[in-house]
Structure 1
């Protein structure tokens, strides 16, 4: 099957589609732009899937619930479509006097909006139910969340976190993360486990502090203090990885790539203070971090610029200061080409 034949639910589950919609990944955006040029007749279907993914906050139902959930959502959309304009014309409704049909025509745009809101509310209810608590942030927004056990999560921009409203006191404490967050986990007397679920790993702790980043089709875990055990999903190895403070483990279930190295944890959690810290980081990595945290797109006209390294701090609230520093340090020119787009080029001579 090709992308051209994908159904709505297949789009919602595909990692490249989710990167484009949820993470604003430039490479994924370019892929779908080219795809829409190749299949212009499917453009409307693609944007319908995008809008639904945004409505449900990026989460798909559990495998055992998927079929029933999709059927209910599709049924709701189908019912709503029966009362919406078709090709610019109202669906015939026999038995209505002409004057009532005229009033109905004037109110139809408002009815369509209301129907969209109801579908959104219904979809969210199906996905999360009354027993689930969900938090989400947009670009430029961070949230501090207190969990039922009084553990604290700092949720970074463009991220989602959800968990059961009432935790079983005998079972593990579990949360599900997409995006980036810093966890300060409260230790309990019975050593009850705390588990963070991502697409790539299950992170098990008792009481500790650590940063989790699930962007770029991988999960990156940086441990500040305490002990963490990682269970890799889609991995042939069933052995858990035990992390010590200062360890950074990065794993992608999609590519089966695994790295483990020593780092300065403060550099990877500095976003909590709205500052990004880099130490001999390639400019390409700096650009990716800016795109993740600010939602901007930066294009490099000269690849050699990306291989240069940068050391310093960047204030998330004043990106222009960083751009001026970069221009002076590397003899380059940075031009803003749109509201959130920039081009970096070398200065000749």
Structure 2
């Protein structure tokens, strides 16, 4: 093998597998190469850092020829504008402008799945109705309720929908941690029960953390307004009314004090986006979930694509990163409209 460059390495499937430790043969190949060519270590380490720092963990079950053709074309176009001499400035500018995008596409289409280690993800968002339950799920799952509300159920959490959900109130029972996006309905308040703590909302987004057992419950309000109450044999006690960006930690025991505290909205957003998994999910479901998770309206110009499917996994990624890969898989582009909506066209 002749002297290698960063650009060359980023186009090698085996090198990406080596960086992500996803193929034993590729790992052995590049470890042996480094032993035989220590003079190339700096270039290899620079390219490896770009792959790992990209933090794009998209995966697909099969290699799609049409997408690979587009990928090769993208790579060839980028090669025509790369300077002949690699400089450190290239890593900061070209990576942001081109190479990270190329890496993302290669990861999306070419990274082999390790099925035994994959978190379980539904084919599409799971719709649950009155009387349904979901217990101790092994991985995060987005649930859609029959009233149009959404629940992001954390791993290990359990949820049960009251059989009378939607008649006079919308009651759910939670153990663990979940984020709720309650559909607006002033006639039927949305209530989350965790032990003897009740959180009530009319139409809002909030997280309830009951992961520390039955001793305490943490509520964080993202938008809207919620009332937090303690239920006992003596009646119902109002503990607090939360406004956006306020949180409260309440205790099941009546002799423990509670205190409202502010929290960082970006921390909650980071929690929501820490792992997003789509497994052969219809594009319509993908977009509805992204709108909920990122609180951003997204429109699809070609509605025929709603029936197409998308497979991918993200970790702590921005909406733009998710949209970049989604649009690449659909062979589409996106832009922000004058009224601050995302249009995929």
* TM-score, normalised relative to structure 1: 0.38
Work out which structure has the larger RCO, using CA pairs closer than 8 Å and 6 or more positions apart in sequence. Answer: 2
* TM-score, normalised relative to structure 2: 0.38
